Amino acid sequence: MSARTPYERTFLAIAVLLLGMLAAIAPDFGATWDEPQQRAKALRLISYVEGHSALDEPLDGAHLYGAPFDVASALIEHVLPMDAYVIRHEVIAVVGWLGILLCGLLADRLFGPPHGVCSMLLLAASPFYMAHAINNPKDLPFATVATAVLLGLTRIGPRSPVLSWGAVAGFAALIGLGLNVRPGALIFAGYVGVVVLYRLLEARPVQPMTVVQAGLRVALVLAGAVAVGWIAWPWAYAHPLSAPFRAMSELGHFGWRWHVLFEGRLYMAGDLPAAYVWRWFWIVLPPIVTAGAALSLACLAGRDAGGVVALWGAVLFPVLYVIGTRATLYDGVRHLLFIVPALTILATAGWLGLWRALAPRWRPALALAAGIGIAEPVVFQLRNHPNQTAYVQPLAGGPMRAFARYDLDYWGNCMLAALARIPAPAAGERVPVSGWPQIVLQADLSRFPRLELVEARDPRATVFVTLARGSRQDLLSLDANPDVVDRVVTADGATLCTVTRTAVRMEGLKIGR
């Protein structure tokens, strides 16, 4: 977009401001469960490429994912004298910002101005998206790639349903990048095929040769994506052509044999209630988004019907797929983060469609309602930063209502803040710290040279930081523990993690990473 018109200049200015905002807040976020594994994977791959070691990838579940953005972060580590996790979070923040930018471009492409600016602001206002836009090394980059693919699909026109060679190369590279993040990117090749088929049927009469050419080029997209989908994926080096298909099959029913807290009960991750996905999206999406998405259905009778149908297809297909196949889910619905930009665009289309349909005298009331709707998640972010991951929308009762019923900070972002509160020791001394989960503590402690990680049974341990994740009874007991000397809480008082002088055992949660 060249900034020629006032709207384009506004779009560009807001995009630049959002980039600055994400870069500024990135150091505030703590490490997550997956980050140490992803960083180690990237370092092993770089060492292998440089000829310093063999490529020995542990089969720990994380081998089913690639690490392109982790490799980029690891390369920067060799250049900048900064904490490794601060660097990682800055890189992921740029990718998160790119997802917001692409969301705006897609909205304008489908529905025209001012949908782009409104969609960017609404996505940035969403705590669920922002919670992952800094420290999620897999789901966030995948969401950005998914949005880029949807934007690319809008370029396939009815006049030429046969993809150009440039489009073939572009989709292959983009989907290949997605495969390096998550094998689920294979579905994007299906998206390309569906759109090409639709354009073929639209461009009547259908010529057999045109069908053959179109089909071959879609096949080339898939082949090209698979051909580059292994580059930043160590496990795939041994079998680059079959890896995406094997990994997608395994991940659909990934053997994560541990428990998930849902509605106050522990469920096995592979045996969740049918309402799991719908309930979680009801919880984590701001009311302005859910209401706007519902309003977008009214656009089916107007000029925007095509865009609305396409976006609802991109939203509903993955949701129905994971529900229908009883796919393994955990950590809320972060695995479906990639549908949130499309939902946000639908919400924008719904609200702006209602604005156009209303008589002028009712528009101030609508503007007030929309202003209140967008202020609610923004205020939550301001009051709870950097623990946006604990967002529970007000109609679902907020975090305090959800405490001990759902996992709030399910992968430990809050533990950085807890470590920062530990009093400084005497000059030259270090404070032995333990707690759970140790993998997150170890990553966060890289920012605190005065703190030393030790095992819980080490007699030197005097401070224990424990994440509030477990069974309902575990969480209630942790919250009422008389040995708690400090805690990180949400603005309405829900406990995210505690600091104690004695070790805490979370018996109800059996979890392994």
The number of C-alpha atoms within 13 Å of 510 and in the hemisphere containing its C-beta is 7
For residue 83, pLDDT over 50 is answered with yes
pLDDT digits (tens, 9 = 90+) for 423-480: 877 777 889 999 999 999 999 999 999 999 999 999 999 899 999 999 999 999 999 9
Q: Mean pLDDT over residues 197-223, rounded?
A: 90
Rounded to whole angstroms, the Cα distance separating 40 from 33 reads: 13
Burial label, 191 (beta-carbon count in 10 A; 0-12, 13-18, 19+): buried
For residue 387, pLDDT over 50 is answered with yes
Average pLDDT over the chain reads: 92
The pLDDT assigned to 22 comes to 98
pLDDT band at residue 101 under the 50/70/90 scheme: very high
pLDDT digits (tens, 9 = 90+) for 258-294: 789 999 999 988 788 989 999 999 999 999 999 999 9
pLDDT band at residue 253 under the 50/70/90 scheme: low
pLDDT digits (tens, 9 = 90+) for 135-168: 999 999 999 999 999 999 999 877 778 999 999 9
Q: Mean pLDDT over residues 48-63, rounded?
A: 84
Percent with pLDDT over 70 in the chain = 97
For residue 513, pLDDT over 60 is answered with no
Write 296-299 long-range contacts (CB < 8 A, 24+): 296/346, 296/347, 296/349, 296/350, 296/353, 297/350, 298/350, 298/353, 298/354, 298/357, 299/349, 299/350, 299/353
The pLDDT assigned to 429 comes to 83
Rounded to whole angstroms, the Cα distance separating 313 from 143 reads: 16
SS3 label, residue 310:
helix
Rounded to whole angstroms, the Cα distance separating 163 from 221 reads: 10
Which tokens is 225 given? Answer: 């994506």
Q: What are the CA-CA distances from residue 475 to residues 48, 208, 506 (Å)? A: 43, 63, 8
For residue 508, pLDDT over 60 is answered with no
The pLDDT assigned to 512 comes to 36
Do the beta carbons of residue 503 and residue 434 sit within 8 Å?
A: yes
CB contact set of 102 (below 8 Å; sequence gap of 6+): 144, 147, 148, 151, 341
What angle, 0 to 180 degrees and rounded to 10, lies between the N-to-C axes of helices 363-384 and 115-125?
40
Of 37, 89, 123, 17, the C-alpha closest to 386 is 89
Q: Which residue did the predictor score with more confidence, 220 or 247?
A: 220
Q: Mean pLDDT over residues 73-90, rounded?
A: 95
Rounded to whole angstroms, the Cα distance separating 111 from 15 reads: 19
pLDDT band at residue 325 under the 50/70/90 scheme: confident
The pLDDT assigned to 423 comes to 87
Which tokens is 209 given? Answer: 């040769």
The pLDDT assigned to 338 comes to 97
* Global pTM value: 0.95
The pLDDT assigned to 274 comes to 87
User: Where are the chain's structural domains?
Assistant: 155-238, 415-500
pLDDT band at residue 507 under the 50/70/90 scheme: low
The pLDDT assigned to 510 comes to 44
Q: Mean pLDDT over residues 496-500, rounded?
A: 97
Q: Mean pLDDT over residues 91-107, rounded?
A: 98
Taking only Cα atoms into account, the Rg of the chain, rounded to an integer number of angstroms, comes to 24
Neighbours of 372 (CB within 10 A): 11
pLDDT band at residue 117 under the 50/70/90 scheme: very high
pLDDT digits (tens, 9 = 90+) for 389-425: 999 999 999 999 999 999 999 989 999 999 999 987 7
Q: What are the CA-CA distances from residue 269 to residues 272, 329, 353 (Å)? A: 6, 6, 39
pLDDT band at residue 255 under the 50/70/90 scheme: low
The secondary element (H helix, E strand) that includes residue 420 is: helix 415-420
Burial label, 472 (beta-carbon count in 10 A; 0-12, 13-18, 19+): middle
Do the beta carbons of residue 116 and residue 3 sit within 8 Å?
A: no
The pLDDT assigned to 511 comes to 39
- Least confident span in 32-41, 229-238, 243-252, 447-456: 243-252
DSSP 496: E
For residue 128, pLDDT over 70 is answered with yes
Rounded to whole angstroms, the Cα distance separating 190 from 186 reads: 7
Task: Give residue for tokens 């020791």.
Answer: 425
Q: Mean pLDDT over residues 342-350, rounded?
A: 98
